[in-house]
Amino acid sequence: MSIDAAQALLSRHPIIDGHNDLPYAMRELVEYDIARFPLDRRQSQTQTDLVRLAEGGVGGQFWSVFVPAAWAGERAVSATLEQIDFVRRMVARYPDHLALATSADEVEAACAAGRIASLMGAEGGHSIDSSLAVLRTLYRLGVRYLTLTHNDNVPWADSATDEPVLGGLSDFGREVVRQMNGLGMLVDLSHVAATTMRDALAVTRAPVIFSHSSARGLVDHVRNVPDDVLASLATNGGVCMVTCVPAFVSTDCYEWDAGVLELMRAEGENPRDWTTHTAAAIRYSQRYPSPVATVRQVADHVEHVRAVAGVAHVGIGGDFDGCKPMPNGISDVSMYPTLIAELLDRGWSEPELAALARGNILRTLRDAEDCAVN
């Protein structure tokens, strides 16, 4: 299938991507000094810029306002506010390219005006410091999903990559979910333990999302979604937004990454520390070259989610600038047409691809808004 057909399809149905870590990359690279890193030019240090978003057919982006889980307490809250401030300043600096969006209607209005709808998601419950008041404040500032944990447990929810403590959600964790329903904020179950997924699904009145996860039925990584949870999305109404992270989509890459984590443990490093993982991977690759994931494997996960949950419950959440390197064929945000071309070759219809690209997450966002207590 011609890449031209995929590009034409995305011009009609631009992608709404569930997760991009450019804001944290800007903290690391230029300390949020956006003047030093013009995003309206093609950049070599990131996987994302405005040029490549346009080339990739991206019409909406959930920007992750992520801070490391080790930054607990007030430091996590203040750093999250800095991330939100950066996203708002980025949108203000590039008004011809970006528009802030806090609702499904605003996403559609931005796309109609030829701008990329810019939404925000807070990646990790540590960002609220166990405070419903902070949660409500993040919502008022424009945050439209909260990932309940990152790599570490929070006092009220177990993470997929930490040792279980609660067996899912605590009573306060259930209250967090209910509060999010009342606000119209999406409950994001990427990063959480399977027990936490099931507890959240039992209590929520609104559809949930997985902003950047893939299928555990294909790759047995704890960050992926088990089939029983995927199947429950058909009744919950939520969406699993398939990610491109190599260790999540390729068994070879998953097993190689397990070696990186063992190296970190042997050298006294915390294997859950996202900020040191990249350096450890570089050290490990000097002895054991990394295998390479492919865009076909990403497509395999998209198809698995469709088979188990249904075509109405699958989306795309690339995790660009949150992981390096990405799979061959989809190494930065400009290459989404390659994924769409692969799915066209596999017989996906235009209505199915429109649902994958944007329709499903827009429906889920609207349904969450409808649950809000006004």
Residue in 17, 49, 162, 319 annotated catalytic: 319
Extract the runs of DSSP E, i.e. beta strands, from 178-276.
186-188, 208-210, 239-242
Residue in 13, 17, 21, 367 annotated catalytic: 21
Is-catalytic flag, 269?
no
Is-catalytic flag, 319?
yes
Residue in 17, 49, 55, 123 annotated catalytic: 123
Is-catalytic flag, 367?
no
Is-catalytic flag, 212?
yes
Extract the runs of DSSP E, i.e. beta strands, from 28-147.
58-64, 98-100, 116-123, 143-147
Is-catalytic flag, 123?
yes
**Is 140 buried (19+), middle (13-18) or exposed (0-12) by CB count in 10 A?**
exposed
Residue in 150, 221, 277, 304 annotated catalytic: 150
The pair of structure tokens assigned to 51 is: 């040029």
The H or E element spanning position 133 is helix 132-140
Q: What is the biggest distance separating any 2 CA atoms in the chain, rounded to whole angstroms?
A: 57
Using the CB atoms, write b or e for 210-224: b if 16+ within 10 Å. bbbbbbbbbbebebb
Is-catalytic flag, 150?
yes
Q: Are 67 and 80 in contact (CB under 8 A)?
A: yes
Give me the residues paired with residue 59 across strands: none
Residue in 126, 191, 221, 277 annotated catalytic: 191
Is-catalytic flag, 191?
yes
3-state secondary structure at position 218: coil
Give the whole-angstrom CA distance, residue 65 versus residue 81. Answer: 8
Residue in 13, 19, 221, 301 annotated catalytic: 19
Residue in 212, 277, 301, 304 annotated catalytic: 212
State the catalytic residues: 19, 21, 123, 150, 191, 212, 319
